[in-house]
Amino acid sequence: MSALLPYFVADLSARAARAPELLALVFTTEDGARQHARVGDLWRDVLRAAAALADAGVRSGDVVILATGHSRALVDGFLGAAAIGAVPAVAPYFTGRLDPALYAERVGRMVAASGAALVIASPNLAERLSVVLASARCRTLAAEALAAADLKQAPLAVGLPDDALAYIQFSSGSTGEQKAVAHKQGAMRGYITRKIGRDGTNDVIVSWLPLYHDLGLIGGLLTPLVAGTLSVLMSPAHWVRDPKIMLRAVHDFRGTMTFMPNFALSHCARAVRDRDLEGLDLSSWRRVILGGELVRQESMRMFAERFAPYGFRAQALQAGYGMAELVEAATATAVDEPARIDWVSRRELMISGHAVPLAASDPEATAMVSCGVPLHGNELRIVGEDGAVLPDRAVGEILVRSPWCGGYHLRRDLTAAALRDGWFQTGDLGYLADGELYVCGRKKDLIIVAGHNVMPDDLETIAGEVEGVASGRVVAFGVTDERLGTDRIVIVCEPVGAPDSDARRRAEAEIRNRVGRMLDVAVSEIRFVERGWVIKTSSGKLARSANREKHLLEKERGAA
Amino acid sequence: MTKKRSADDVRARLGAFIRGEFLGDPTYPLRDDEPIISGGLIDSFYLAHLAVFIEDAFGVVIPDVDLAVENFDTLDLMAQRILDELWREG
């Protein structure tokens, strides 16, 4: 009967009967303790969570949002919801810097976008959320309730059709309307089956990515559960504070595969001390797959050099490209080969939009890192602004045709706008060369700080509401921090009136404060400019890249 | 070396490091009591880099569990922690 269970739990259930003693998951708590979950125990915990959700009135097809943060309740609740045919969705983690009231409002917008019936919340949020959600006919369940239920009660879903929803992935900014990407049972089976077919079932995954991120959830939890391979999970907050925990986990469990953003390379290389590395053996690590932000050759070089003495092999550094709408990865570089580097003219790339090859030694050359070839049945094309397919080495928008592409839940209009003749419009910029994809820039001027997506619109809205800042005359963009291998946030504001330096300082502090409470990121630079500085298009829209160029040029000339 | 003097030295070295390495602006007028992380000047991931610097520059080891925003949010807090550790070691 297990083959008829919902896809995410079918294999786990079968394995629980066959090999309950196998280690399924090592869950590292926020304080560093490692909880070992054997297959049989994990399945029992999932059944208990399933029973608790059914007790709370959750039915097959209901959407359940998990606002529990990094915890076993998140894993059990997600799988428990899946087991009864409900549709789980993970909310971004609450952190100490976020404003709890604003966070609760954001979860409220996720409930609105997904039509959720229930939110599972950590104890510190449950009460506040139940107040916010009271009007939305959405109930709140405290995370502790999941482990307290009687496990024989779980009404497992059997024989769900392929077009039943499997899970929802939120994908959007923080201040505005939320987009809920919905994936179906059949698409998840198709994608994960293809993925396991390529990767095999001998990996040990080591991951600190949050489970609210598609790469963290699919790569770190769901694929290993289906494949029956061990996954060692850590929290992103813990890893950021103490990056050596990932290296220790690779050593201790003979880890083979990790997914992470480019920033993690420089963070590990710079923030791990030599004495923490003594005796470590990283030779088992055969794939460190970079994704989620632009991959930089310099960060790869720094990481490979730093960890080579501990058995790390440079060819383990691979890259991929994907997004929540396409389930996870659309492309990846070859297994057991380093990602290819394409040296091209920086100038031509910027001015003519062509990737013109140059020798690596040329001072004009910039290194583009390949994100590999289309995988898992995906097809790729690069198009110009008129929609015409572009030749190799011409930069244009990346389109993907995917058998697994999801739609926006309850929003056929958004789904229709994102798909044109079956091709998903990523909004990202890139070029193809020898069949491999090179990504040049992200959607809608998206800023990615340490793997964390930040929408410039959110920053502009927040800054524009601060006293002394001219609303609508604010522009936010990212500038590359080469050493950290990620973006820094710059906000350029036109003032209201002629504020003195004290007033500007107060406004700066207020912008940083609000951005921190809403988005949990720092603003590297806030610049006040004279009225009329900010460039807009003829239709009155912000021209972010033009403003960015203007800012950088003035910085270079010492005018800013 | 007086107590006052060494606290100033520690703050000056930390301040130069933070302005140059983290803020990318050596001229930023960073106040001793300015909250750099909770105030949104730098992201909390810099704490791990700060710990490495403190260890290299002052020989003070900060246990990972202590690397929290509330302990290292201002130059004053950082300097206090470093001096406490140095005096404890004698």
**DSSP secondary structure letters along A233-289:** E--HHHHHH-THHHHHHHHHHT--EEEE-THHHHHHHHHS-HHHHTT---TT--EEE
Of B45, B64, B65, the CB nearest to A450: B45
**Overall CATH class of domain A297-442:** alpha beta
The answer to whether the Cα torsion of B61, B66, B68, B74 is positive or negative is negative
- Count Cβ atoms below 10 Å from residue A390 Cβ, excluding itself: 17
CA B2 to chain A, closest CA, distance in angstroms equals 31
Q: List pLDDT tens digits, range A65-91.
A: 999 999 999 999 999 999 999 999 999
Of A267, A270, A515, the CB nearest to B40: A515
CA angle A6, A7, A13 (to 5 degrees): 75
- What is the ipTM for the molecules in this complex? 0.86
Residue A348 confidence (pLDDT) above 80: yes
Q: Do A513 and B40 touch (CB under 8 A)?
A: yes
Pick from A308, A226, A298: which is nearest to A263 by CA?
A298
The whole-number average pLDDT for the span A436-463 is 89
- Count Cβ atoms below 10 Å from residue A39 Cβ, excluding itself: 24
Q: List pLDDT tens digits, range A261-304.
A: 999 999 999 999 999 999 999 999 999 999 988 899 999 999 99
Largest CA distance in chain B: 35
Cβ-Cβ contacts under 8 Å between A and B: the total is 57
Kindly report, as residue ranges, where domains of CATH 3.40.50.12780 are found in chain A. Answer: 2-199, 297-442
Residue B7 confidence (pLDDT) above 60: yes
φ, ψ (nearest 5 deg) of residue A430 = -170, 180
Name the least confident of A277-291, A396-410, A498-512: A498-512
Confidence of residue A112 (pLDDT cuts 50, 70, 90): very high
Q: What is the pLDDT of residue A185?
A: 97
Residue A485 · residue A265 · CB < 8 Å: yes
Q: List pLDDT tens digits, range B44-76.
A: 889 999 999 999 999 999 988 888 888 999 999
Q: Do B39 and A523 touch (CB under 8 A)?
A: no
User: Crossing angle, helix B46-58 and helix B75-89, to 10 degrees?
Assistant: 40
Please name the helix (run of DSSP H) or strand (run of DSSP E) that holds residue A210, with its range, or none: none
Confidence of residue A2 (pLDDT cuts 50, 70, 90): very low
The whole-number average pLDDT for the span A313-333 is 95
Residue A373 · residue A366 · CB < 8 Å: no
Residue A319 · residue A295 · CB < 8 Å: yes
**DSSP secondary structure letters along A473-499:** EEEEEEEEETTTTEEEEEEEEEESS--
Q: Do B37 and A522 touch (CB under 8 A)?
A: yes
Kindly report, as residue ranges, where domains of CATH 3.30.300.30 are found in chain A. Answer: 447-559
C-alpha atoms less than 13 angstroms from C-alpha of A438 in its C-beta half-sphere: 27
CATH number for A447-559 (one of 3.30.70.20, 3.40.1190.20, 3.30.300.30, 3.30.420.140): it is: 3.30.300.30
Q: Do A241 and B64 touch (CB under 8 A)?
A: yes
Q: Which chain B residues have a beta carbon less than 8 Å from that of A31? A: 65
Taking only Cα atoms into account, the Rg of chain A, rounded to an integer number of angstroms, comes to: 24
Q: What is the pLDDT of residue A390?
A: 97
Which token pair is A112? 């609105």
Q: Do A525 and B43 touch (CB under 8 A)?
A: no
Of B42, B49, B69, the CB nearest to A271: B49
Q: In the predicted model, what is the mean pLDDT of chain A?
A: 93
Q: What is the pLDDT of residue B64?
A: 83
Of B40, B44, B69, the CB nearest to A523: B40
Q: Which chain B residues have a beta carbon less than 8 Å from that of A521? A: 40, 43
Confidence of residue A1 (pLDDT cuts 50, 70, 90): very low
Q: What percent of chain A has pLDDT over 90?
A: 81
Cα–Cα distances in angstroms (integers) from residue A349 to residues A52, A433, A550, in the given order? 56, 14, 18
Which token pair is A291? 């994704």
Report how far residue B22's alpha carbon sits from residue B12's, in angstroms, rounded to the nearest whole number.
Answer: 15
Q: Which spans in A5-122 are helix H?
A: 7-18, 39-55, 72-83, 100-114
CA angle A487, A491, A496 (to 5 degrees): 180
CA A516 to chain B, closest CA, distance in angstroms equals 6
Q: Do B43 and A521 touch (CB under 8 A)?
A: yes
Look up the CATH number of domain A2-199. 3.40.50.12780
Q: What is the pTM of this model?
A: 0.92
CA angle A445, A448, A454 (to 5 degrees): 70
Residue A537 confidence (pLDDT) above 90: no
The full length of chain A comes to 560
Confidence of residue B88 (pLDDT cuts 50, 70, 90): confident
Confidence of residue A557 (pLDDT cuts 50, 70, 90): confident
Q: What is the pLDDT of residue A93?
A: 95
